[in-house]
């Protein structure tokens, strides 16, 4: 009986931990937010599925969302992910953030159209 009680307690704790984790977003716009919650960067992916794949390995301040925040951004660039040979639009709060974000590219990511003001 004691083992069953311990097992139930562990299961309850595991469920509570899962319930307290923030849910993954949905939508094709991966939006990174600054400490105030304002959009700092957004990457437009071709699908919700691909966005969620990237979100899973992205920084904790990034979430996929169904609506674009690009209208609040002041700069943009185009990136190519290879593989799979996919072009994406990237939006940044300002030119400085664009240049900083693209000063070091991750393996397989290429800057195709450099940072420019919108």
Integer Cα distance of 59 and 117 in angstroms: 25
Structure-block tokens of residue 24: 């993954």
Radius of gyration of the chain (CA): 19
Task: Say which residue, 10 or 90, is predicted with more confidence.
Answer: 90
Candidate from 21-30, 57-66, 83-92, 104-113 with smallest mean pLDDT? 21-30
Q: Which residues contact 94 (CB under 8 A, 6 or more apart)?
A: 74, 75
Helix (H) or strand (E) holding 91: strand 86-92
Reported as a single tens digit per residue, the pLDDT across 12-65 is 333 333 333 444 578 999 999 999 999 999 999 999 999 999 999 999 999 999
């Amino acid at each position: 009986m004691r083992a069953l009680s311990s097992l139930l307690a562990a299961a309850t704790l595991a469920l509570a931990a899962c319930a307290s984790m923030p849910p993954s977003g949905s939508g094709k716009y991966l939006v990174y937010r600054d400490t105030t919650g304002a959009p700092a960067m957004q990457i437009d992916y071709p699908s919700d599925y691909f966005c969620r794949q990237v979100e899973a390995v992205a920084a904790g301040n990034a979430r996929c969302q169904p609506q674009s925040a690009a209208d609040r951004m002041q700069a943009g660039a185009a990136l190519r992910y290879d593989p799979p040979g996919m072009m994406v639009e990237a939006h940044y709060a300002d030119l400085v953030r664009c240049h900083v974000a693209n000063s070091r590219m991750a393996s397989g990511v290429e800057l195709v159209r450099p940072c420019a003001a919108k």
